Amino acid sequence: MNQMGIGMTSQRTRERLIQRLMDQGITHFEVLEAIRSMPRHLFVDEALAHRSYEDTALPIGYGQTLSQPYMVARMSELALARGRPGKVLELGSGSGYQTAILASLVGEICAVERIKPLVERARKQLRSLKIRNVRLRHGDGLEGWSSEAPFDVILGAAAPEQVPAGLLEQLAPGGRLILPVGGRRQTLMMVTATPDGYVEEAVEAVNFVPMISGVER
């Protein structure tokens, strides 16, 4: 990496990102620590490394984006709101950045991604970071991962038009689905499996890539 790359990925740049997340209302200490210590620049192309600690989504190829740090932080906070989840299903792992953040905060992660080269790249990246509590599969996240269900949390960074009913069935009792839902206008939804049924809460307006059914080689 050149001089500038090293400078822009410095500790100071990362501290600025953490401050920005706190200014936006992120308070969970472990979440902030996980983001502070994760080298986000390793998840993007080297040409974009100098922007990797800005609070923006960044392209990762195949028309997809690495999630904005604020969204990763927000969804992680929601995932941890009732304590440390044991088993998490992540839909649309993309670069593996959100997966890597979550890996230090939860028991284990099953992650599904529909674009094969992204699966391979993320798998390599997670291995080089010595993250071992993640299983990554090439598949359609809309189908969930039934042989590994139930999950304490199901979370995703791509938006289906509606809450997928089939995914709710893979939640453990008390479990939560955290997912952007909608078309041009999306809302981050949190759906909790309670003894009285599924309780839906709208968290905030968001902007994610669409969740697309089927897989790409």
Quick one: which of 21, 41, 69, 113 contacts ligand SAH (CB under 6 A)?
113
Distance CA(144)–CA(171), nearest Å, equals 10
Site residues for ligand SAH, window 198-217 (CB under 6 A)?
A: 209, 211-213
Residue 166: which H helix or E strand, with range? helix 165-168
Phi, psi of 83 (to 5 degrees): 95, 180
Which x/- pattern, by CB under 6 A, does the window 18-57 give for ligand SAH?
----------------------------------------
Which of 38, 158, 171, 177 is in the footprint of ligand SAH by CB under 6 A?
Answer: 158
Q: Does 78 bind ligand SAH (CB under 6 A)?
A: no
CA distance to 25, 133, 141, 205, per residue, from 111 (Å): 27, 11, 8, 24
- Check binding of 140 to ligand SAH (CB under 6 A): yes
- Residues pairing with 183 in the sheet: none
Catalytic residue positions, numbered: 67
When asked if residue 91 is in the footprint of ligand SAH (CB under 6 A), the reply is yes
175-204: b or e for each residue (b if 16 or more CB lie within 10 Å)?
bbbbbbbbeeebbbbbbbbeeeeeeeeeee
- Contact flag: residue 188 with ligand SAH (CB under 6 A): no
Q: Max alpha carbon distance in the chain (Å)?
A: 58
Q: Does 144 bind ligand SAH (CB under 6 A)?
A: no
Where on the chain is the footprint of ligand SAH (CB under 6 A)?
60, 64-67, 91-95, 97-98, 112-115, 118, 140-142, 157-158, 209, 211-213
